[in-house]
Amino acid sequence: MAKLYEQVAGEVARRVDVGLYGYGERIPSVRHLSRELEVSTTTVVEAYRLLEDQGLIEARPQSGYYVRHPSFDDRCPRARCPRPERPIPVTVADMVVTVMRDNYQGKARLAGADAAPDLLPVKRLQKSVALAARESECLTSYDLPPGCPELRLQIARLALAAGCQVSPQEVVLTTGCQEALTLCLRAVCEVGDVVAIESPTFYGQLQAIEMLGLRVLEIPSDPIEGISLDALQLALEQMPVRAVMVTPSHSNPTGSCMSEAHRRELVAMLAEWDVPLIEDDVYGDLGFGLKRLPAAKSFDRSGRVLYCSSFSKTLAPGHRLGWTIPGRYQAQVERLKTLTNLASPSLLARGMADFLRGSRYERHLRGVRREYARRVRLMREAVLAEFPEGTRVSNPRGGYVLWVELPRGVDTVALYPKAVEAGVPFAPGPMFSAGKRLRHCLRLTASRWEAEQEQAIGRLGRLIGLESHATMKVRVHS
């Protein structure tokens, strides 16, 4: 059970999430909140310190505590112009394959968004799988869609934390979140259809769209609130959008996190237009706050939201256990799953179901969230210290990736081979855009933070500094 000061911090965070305290607004004083909640002032002080550490509030001398808006920090990336362009085909696969190969051959692992091995409950998962292996049925039969009943029951229970009340029968197991996203796209789209996505967005979404022969409509995204609803509304009015795909919680690569009100408005808007929403919630459990924001799926009253997630970022990337709650599209998704690979791995699914019984998962998450918050903070500080002046870095409230905007003129695609040679590959910005833009941007992964990563940030910063200096000299002499 959470300590009293953690409960108080959670209540303040909830009020921020639902809009009771806006960004930049003053929150109740220590004495006021202690009287309101009937707790000691010491408890409130501890709660406010926790919220400061999480980056949600800030103390101002002689003024009190205020809700911190990361966009007020001029070291954070700027929001984009809220105007969509035109649908385009996607061609990112070759770049993604190259970067992922280079990442796994290196030591620092800055390029791939992998969970930290030291934060995964490997031994306990091994025990759970060993227990499941005693049941011969795991080895002698198929788990046909929708998949292992025991695991679907546990996932339905986990969904309650995201505000989703679903039955186990509504859950379809998949081979990771990537397959869930792909199946959902196939269920609602046909070749040539237009899918609206955030820009920048996770390259896995772009890969799925590319593989299926769909076209992308890039919607500008705010580094704090996520996809621009004004731009999306304009796109719906002007273009034949067949589906929308977003990551509301701690998006990859920017770390943006939609407010509860933003999610509610998004779902309502798409219901009005009868457009399905594919929600990628793979980072939903990794928020640094005490309260998990409700999934967009929790506001779905018509079955148009297809929810996708997996255990790859929190428990076991090697198990490739994902799922979708596809609403009114469940029959299509189950059929496509059967046609794609017939069934899901029985042994690993039953092992995961055993691990999830009781409160073990939530206890695990508490420690993981704290540690990722620390590592993200330390890497961000290192980037700001080591990279050239003018660099902007996201300040996420969850997940473990950082989005970096470099001074204009630095081309991360041209820089990439030099970084690989120096042993510090990263994810160049164009990997996250169908239009191959964002060449002055890159993504870093902060899941690991040891001497190897600290040194790698220093080497990469020096490379970027040389590139920036060379670019400035060219400008001066041109």
- For residue 399, is it left (φ>0), alpha (ψ between -120 and 50) or beta? left
Report whether pLDDT(440) > 70: yes
- Tell me the angle at which helices 330-341 and 176-188 cross, rounded to the nearest 10 degrees: 120
Residue 20 binned pLDDT confidence (cut-offs 50, 70, 90): confident
Contact of 306 with 278, CB cutoff 8 Å: yes
Asked whether the bond before 61 is cis by omega within 30 degrees of 0, the reply is no
Which tens digits make up the pLDDT trace of 298-309?
999 999 999 999
Which tens digits make up the pLDDT trace of 210-232?
999 999 999 988 888 899 999 99
Residue-averaged pLDDT of the chain: 90
Neighbours of 39 (CB within 10 A): 17
Report whether pLDDT(82) > 50: no
Interior angle at CA 284, CA 220 and CA 424, nearest 5: 70
Residue with tokens 């770049």: 95
Minimum mean pLDDT range among 50-54, 114-118, 301-305? 50-54
Residue with tokens 């690979």: 341
What 8-state DSSP symbol labels residue 358?
T
pLDDT score, position 473? 46
The residue that leads in pLDDT, 361 or 409, is 361
pLDDT score, position 391? 93
Interior angle at CA 199, CA 316 and CA 103, nearest 5: 40
Structural domains in the chain, sorted by start:
4-68 (1.10.10.10), 93-101+118-360 (3.40.640.10), 364-477 (3.90.1150.10)
Which tens digits make up the pLDDT trace of 178-208?
999 999 999 999 999 999 999 999 999 999 9
Report whether pLDDT(26) > 50: yes
The residue that leads in pLDDT, 309 or 86, is 309
